[in-house]
Amino acid sequence: MATKPLRRWSTDELETAISSGRLDNVQRYEAERILSDRERAPERRLVRRSYNAAAWALDGQLHCCPDHPLAFGNG
């Protein structure tokens, strides 16, 4: 049984526990989910940065072009 929450375990600790069979089924499922989330984190950060950059660029265009159909408050 785990002595500290699985979320606080390092990636190496989780992988070792899964491969050695030290975890019960519920803990193994949770550990696999945590590892999966950690693998996707860089992708989510990249998507968020891209979205924010596009939003800022679009916002700048709309302020520069008040007649643009997507610009708010022009009529």
pLDDT in tens, 44-56: 888 888 888 887 7
> What is the overall mean pLDDT for the chain?
80
Residue 5 phi, psi (nearest 5): -55, 140
What's the whole-number mean pLDDT along residues 15-34?
Answer: 94
Q: Where are the domains of the chain?
A: 8-64
Calculated CA dihedral for residues 11, 12, 15, 21, nearest 10 degrees: -130
pTM value is 0.57
For residue 28, count other CB atoms closer than 10 A to its CB.
16
